[in-house]
Structure formats: C-alpha cells, structure tokens
Structure 1
Amino acid sequence: MTIETGRETARETGWDSGRDADQEVERLRRWRLVLGDAGADGTGCALRGADAARDGALEALYGQRPQPRSGRGVREGGGARAAGLGASAPQVARWLGDIRRYFPSAVVQMMQRDAIDRLGLSTLLVEPEMLEAVEADVHLVGTLLTLNKVMPETTKETARAVVRKVVGQLEERLATRARATLGGALDRAARIARPRHRAIDWDRTIRANLKHYLPEHRTVVPERLIGYGRAARSVRKEVVLCIDQSGSMAASVVFASVFGAVLASMRAIDTRLVVFDTAVVDLTDHLDDPVEVLFGTQLGGGTDINRALAYCQSRIHRPADTVVVLISDLYEGGIRDEMLRRVAAMKASGVEFVTLLALSDEGAPAYDREHAAALAALGAPAFACTPDHFPEVMAAALEKRPLPIPDMAEQR
C-alpha cells in the first residue's frame, strides 16, 4: 500500500475527512516501522524512500537472532532470517553509514552496541576502515580496550584516534565543573579561622557576616573573620582511584581515567590511579594522558579487590588527608574477610573511603549485595554515581562531609 492507496482505503473504512485519513495512514506507517517485515501484512502499508531505508537498516540488525560472540554466522533454520549484516566489512561499513544518515546520534550508538552484542561484530572493529565508520562513544571505547591485545599494528593508531576523540569530548564536558567544585572544597579546607589582619579575606568575611549588618550605622559587624589559606607549596590532599577492570566495568574505567587526569592536573591533590583484576597495575605515571591510561588497562579477567586495596594501603602517606575511591561491582575473587579488615583499618587511620559500584551514566549495575552491606556496616556505603555527580561526591569526601548518596532505588 502506498500513501495514496492507504488514504483511499482509510476513507473507505469510515475515515471521512482527509485529516483523519492522513492520521490513520501515519499510524499504519509507524506500526509498520515498529513491526518490521512481520507486520507488513497486518498493516497493509508499504514503505518507500527514507522509510524503506530506515526499515532495511533495522531489519538487518533486529530481523535475525543474535549470533555467537565468535562472529560466526547463525546456523540455517530455526527461524533465523536470511537478511543481516553478514561478516563482510564493506557491507557493515555501508550499514554504519546508513544508520548515521537516518537516525540521531544517540540511536546510532545504541544500534552499534546491539550490533556488536547480537551479531558478534567485535572482530571487525580491528579493521581501520570499520573504526573510521563508527560513531564513537564510551561503550565503543570499552570494546576497543577489550580488543586491544588482538589488534594488528595497522589498526592501533586508528583506535587511539577514536579513543582520544571520546576522551576529549568527556574532558570538555566534565573537567571545568570538576575543577571548580573540587577547587572550592580545597579552598574551604584551607581557610584560616583566626587570621592576622593581613591574612583576612575581606570578601568572604563580609559575605559571612551580612546577617550582622547594622542599617543605622551602614556597616557590617564582623563577628567571624575568615582568612586566606596559605599558599600550598606542598600537596594538601591525596586521592587514590582504585578501579576494577573486569569486563563489566568498561564505562567506569573510561570515566575514572578522565577524572584521574583532571585530579592530577590540580596542584593541591596528589593523585594515584590503580587498576586491577587478579593483578594490580599502577598507572599513575600516565595520568597526564588519559588515553595512555586507558591503553594500559586490560579489560576482562577475574577480580581480587583485597590485593588491590593492599597495594593502595601501602602507598598512603597521610591517612587523615587521603581519600580512597574503590570503583567495583564488588564480586570479590580474593579473600573477603581480609578485604573488609583492610577497609576498616584504613577508615580507623583517618582515610575517607568511597565505594562506587559504577561511575557511568547507566545507574547501578549487578553487584554483590552481601559485600555492599558489609562495607556499609563499616561506614563505607556502596552506590552508583554518574560522572556529573562525581565532583560533588569527591568534594564532600575531601571536606569530610557526609557523602551525597543518590537513592539506590532510582538506580536499579
């Protein structure tokens, strides 16, 4: 059915006005796009032009059953459709171009992730022409990092360019707010309560005493003086980011690496970044370049939180001025009781301990609830945190204030 015959059919079935007929045709068109080929007979609507192209792109991805991760094709029979992306890189590249043409960026990224998961296209991402065709986002970066060890040298430079593009976008989005929020927290921590006359910060002092303004005298009575913090020649705070690099934590690794670089750029914070699975790797020396940090990770493998925390604990010099941020889904493969004893010991020494189940825009992942409850009992509640909320969490930790913990029910 074309648009014209659809309008004629709609009128014949009781849709008298042209406007009502157009609305019915539009309704059938939308249902046809939703249902795909399976709904063609039910709607009686044939798609043309851009609609047909959109439908074809969707059919290639969602019109067949998922393939194995190995990338091999689905066996014949069993209801699998003949249409699809196949294993041809040129065909996939054309499909990637089509979806970028017909769908908005957020939808493109979702379809790319589905193609990688459903059709086993990970192996094609080691080809430079494929990387140049995809829409780069955090999830693609995670996939590339997973494939890092099997990439041919001809692809690695293209992959680095893709990762650098995403990291640059994240830094532009997050860095300014993070520096402002954390800089404010450090300034507040450095203020002098009883300053000498030359050290009085009159701007802050006046604002803090406005409630003591005397209108008849047109003056403010400064009952509380606020002084400038001393110029920090040495580091005042230490932050240790301890990041689980198991495969499920890919997005968190990307965001944490960006924030690690931001924190390292602030003179008043000594930042250490540690990633772990069953081994522990200290990537602090690469913090000036988050892309190098990311390519120093190895996503996948097991998890030994206890070993990672033991390493971090050994690198803490001033516990009362230290914040440790553990980013993990808490599926511990190491010694559970020893892990909990380490957290308790760090907190008893004065360390501010923050447990994040995820640092991403996707809410709380699957996580070990028993371990989360045990940490909460030690005064280190575990929660998921979005990148936009992370500066507020860190500011509270630096100032030793209660953490602004989101409602976990909203994150599920």
Structure 2
Amino acid sequence: MNGADTLRRWRLALGRYARPDGGQELAGADRQVDEALDYLYGRAYDRQGILRGKGGASGGSLDGSQLTALDWLRRTRELFPQDVCERLQRHALDKFGLNEILHDPATLRALEPDENLARALLGMRGRLGADMQDAVRDVIGKVVEDITRRLRHEFVNALSGRRNRFRRSMVPSAQNFDWRATIAANLRHYDTASRRLVIERPYFNSRVKRQLPWDVILCVDQSGSMVDSVLYSAIVASILVSLPSVNIRLVVFDTNVVDLTRMAADPVQVLLTVQLGGGTDVGRAMRYCEQLVTTPQRTIIALVSDFEEGAPPGPLLACVQRLAQSRVRLLGLAALDERAQPVYDRDMGQRLAARGMEIAALTPSRFAGWLAEVIG
C-alpha cells in the first residue's frame, strides 16, 4: 500500500475535519463514500457544537435538506457491502438518533428488516404517527416471519412425536438412525479383507405423533428492558398454538396483567399490542396465572422475566411455592441481552428456585427441548 492510498484511507476514516486546509478534494466514488459517512457520523460534531461545512472545513454542506434519510439509505446500499450497510443502519438508530428514518413510511420500508430495526420500532411505537402504522406492521411482519421460519422446525421436531422402533422411515435423519437394525440387516455384507461392514441399506425409525395433554402458560414481562424476550415469546407462542393438543395461554405484564391468548396465533398483533415500559409486579402476574391452572400435573408455567420485582416479594414467593406444591412445572426464563447473555436479578432467581421454580437462561430452541423433556 503506497503513501497516497494510506492517506486516502485515513481521510475516509477520520472525516473531513481531519483534512488539513488546502488538502486534495476527494473525487468520484470516494467522495460519495465520504458524504454518506459524514451524513451519519458528522452528527457527532454537531453534538459538540461544531457546524458541518463551517469552521474551516471546505466542501459542500451535507445538511439533511440536501441529502435525505431515504437518499442516504439508497446510497449506502450502492456503496457498501450488506454487512456494512446493516452496521451503519444500527448506528443511525441506536447511536445517532436518526429519527427521520422512522417518520417516513417510504424510508422505513426501504430499511433492511432485522431484529435491531424491530427492537427500535417496538421501543418507539408510541411516538410514531398513524400514517406509520402500516409500514411498521410490514417491517415487523418480515422480521417475525424470518425468525418463525428458523424456529418452527425446532419446536415441531421436539414436540411432534417420539421414535417408533416398530415402524421404519424412508426419511434419513441422524436423530432417527437405528444402528442395531442397520448392523443386523447388513452383516452379510461384511468384507473380511478390509474388516469393514459395508452398509448397503441403513435403517431409520419413524416417528409417531403423540397427544400432548399439557397446558403451557407463557407469562411474559413487558417492562422496558424486555424487548428481546417479548419479541421471541410472541413468536414461540404462535408456534405452540399451531401444535395439536397443546393448550397455550399468553399473558403479558408490567404492573398490570393482560391476557393476550386470543391473539397468540398472530405474533405481529401481539407485538403491536404490548406496552413496553413501566414497573414490574411479577407476583400479580403469577397469581393471575395460578387462577388459569385446572390440571396442575399437566401444566407448565414459563415466566419470562429479569425477575426485577417492583412489589414486595412475599406474595410472589408464596404463589410460586403453592404452584410447586400442587405439582405445576415452573420454569423461570431469564432475560437475555442482544448477545444472548443472561441479564436478571440473581438473588431473586435463587429465592424463586428455593421455592420450586427451575431457573434457566435458554435460547428459544433450547426452550423447545426443555418442553419436550417435561412433556415426555
């Protein structure tokens, strides 16, 4: 790399204010890259009281009146790889408050739908105008569809059936491989010279569907810090609704409790209904779920929360103990951050565990496996 190329790279990385007076102007694609980066990261100078295009910096102004948010989105897609575009988009929303992106339906629909955008929309939904609702629904719907497609097979595979050793399957699967039957059927193909068994036909067990006479109650904390957990809980509930013989109840709470079972099959509607923010009364939510229990031995209550109880803890702990003693299976799913790291009140988690609730930090796919183990 020669000196000129090194200076060019530093110039693009540091922005226009790093260029000494009289320096060579960027041209062509480099200038477009510089303008796109400055539109976003130049806001850091604004926060320090430095006016872009003034204070000794030469070149045309890049104020929003000349480069709109939609123009910026289109330009970044033309200039940068997709992973860079997604990073710039996250920075625009998370670090620099580029709120104009979220106040124009055309601009919003031009964004690349991903979980970061869905989180931003859910967090700002109350501040968006009525003209944005359809665009918000479209974007969140695409994100939900993508996550559901990735998760559905995990739940269906875990909960749809058990292996039937008396029936064979033509669908190969390592999980269903019957090694005993395979060896027995292929012994005549044993090669004495190489001392190897030649497998001409492997055998696999089929699966039989089973009835799951279990009631599953998802009790989801909708306080402000729980946006990721709310997103995945709504999707998990919609998948469980589609499974036969699984009775799903979906309850969300902050200081109030709302039963959203009637819309559990539509995760987008659930996400557009929840009210993220406010305090937390876990005890009140658990007491409501207690009233829903009709067959304790076949009921699972999964509490999705960071366990930051805002009310006195006594009623919550007493309720958990009553449910455990009645043989309800209790799982406390700790909130996960964006890196899938558990974030929860560990002291309260220990107190809940001491009264019969299993405390775990599970991804949705691991939750599917846990349900399968419990239901058997």
> 1:286: how far off?
0.9
1:400 matched to 2:359? The reply is: no
Q: Out of 217, 220, 226, which is 1:243 matched to?
A: 220
Counterpart of 1:51, as a letter, is D
Give the TM-score, by structure 2 length: 0.77
> Is the 2:221–2:253 Cα contact (8 Å) retained in structure 1?
yes
Contact kept in structure 2, 1:244 and 1:328, CA below 8 Å: yes
Which amino acid in 2 is paired with 1:392? R
2:35 is matched with which residue: 29, 44, 56?
Answer: 56
* Alpha-carbon distance in structure 2 between the residues aligned to 1:208 and 1:320: 36
- Residue in structure 2 matched with residue 344 of structure 1 by the alignment: 321
**SS across alignment from 1:354:** strand
Displacement of 1:88: 6.0
1:216-270 CA distance string (max 9 Å, x none)? 999xxxxxxx9997863xx512222111112222222122211111111000311
Matched, 1:128 2:105: yes
In the alignment, which residue of structure 2 is the partner of 1:286?
Answer: 263
1:196 is matched with: none
Q: TM-score, normalised by structure 1?
A: 0.71
Secondary structure of the structure 2 residue equivalent to 1:393: helix
Contact in 1 for aligned 2:160/2:210 (Cα 8 Å): no
Query: Structure 2: how far apart are the matches of 1:211 and 1:305?
Result: 53
Cα distance in structure 2, aligned partners of 1:272 and 1:258: 13
Structure 1 residues without counterparts, runs of 5 or longer: 1-21, 67-72, 192-199, 219-225, 402-412
Per-residue deviation, residues 271-300 of structure 1 (Å, max 9, x unmatched): 111111111111111122211111121112
Picking from 160, 176, 189, the partner of 1:183 is 160
Give me the whole-angstrom Cα distance separating, in 2, the residues matched to 1:41 and 1:377.
66
CA distance in 2 between partners of 1:361 and 1:228 (Å):
36
Corresponding residue to 1:316 among 271, 278, 293: 293
Q: CA–CA distance in 2 between the matches of 1:212 and 1:337?
A: 59
CA distance in structure 1 between the partners assigned to 2:234 and 2:81 by the alignment: 28
User: Could you tell me which of 138, 157, 168 is aligned with 2:134?
Assistant: 157
Partner of 2:198: none
Q: Is the 8 A contact 1:360 1:385 kept in 2?
A: no
1:139, 1:251 within 8 Å by CA — same for their partners in 2? no
Answer whether contact 2:336 2:342 (CA < 8 A) is retained: no
Gap runs ≥5 in structure 2: 54-60, 170-175, 190-204
Partners of 1:158 and 1:211 in 2: CA distance = 55
Change (3 A) 1:58 1:216: closer
Residue 82 of structure 1: aligned partner? 52
Distance 2:217 2:352 in 1: 18
8 Å Cα contact 1:237-1:398 kept in structure 2: no
Q: Where does residue 242 of structure 2 map in the other structure? A: 265
Alignment CA distance shift 1:182-1:248 (3 Å): same
Contact 2:336 2:343 in 1 (8 A): no
Question: Are residue 92 (structure 1) and residue 69 (structure 2) matched?
Answer: yes
- Which residue is equivalent to 1:114? 91
How far 1:50 moved relative to its partner? 2.9
In structure 2, the CA distance between the partners of 1:117 and 1:56, relative to structure 1 (3 Å rule), is same
Tell me what 1:143 maps to. 120
Residue 222 of structure 1 aligns with which residue? none
Alignment partner of 2:341 out of 361, 364, 370? 364
Q: Aligned equivalents of 1:46 and 1:89: distance in 2?
A: 19
| Superposed CA offset, 1:115-149 (max 9, x none) | 23333344752432332232222232233233434
Tell me how large the CA RMSD over aligned residues is. Answer: 3.8
Equivalent position SS for 1:274:
strand
Distance 1:396-1:238 versus aligned 2 partners, 3 A rule: same
**Paired residue secondary structure (1:239):** strand
* 2:166 corresponds to: 201
Q: Percent identity?
A: 34
> Deviations 1:22-74 (Å, cap 9, x if unpaired)?
355554444433333354459x88644333323332222223339xxxxxx85
The verdict on how the C-alpha distance between 1:171 and 1:400 changes in structure 2, with shifts beyond 3 A counting, is closer
- Measured against aligned partners, the alpha-carbon deviations of 1:132-187 in whole angstroms (never above 9, x if no partner) come to 23222223223323343443332212221112121112222221232112324xx3
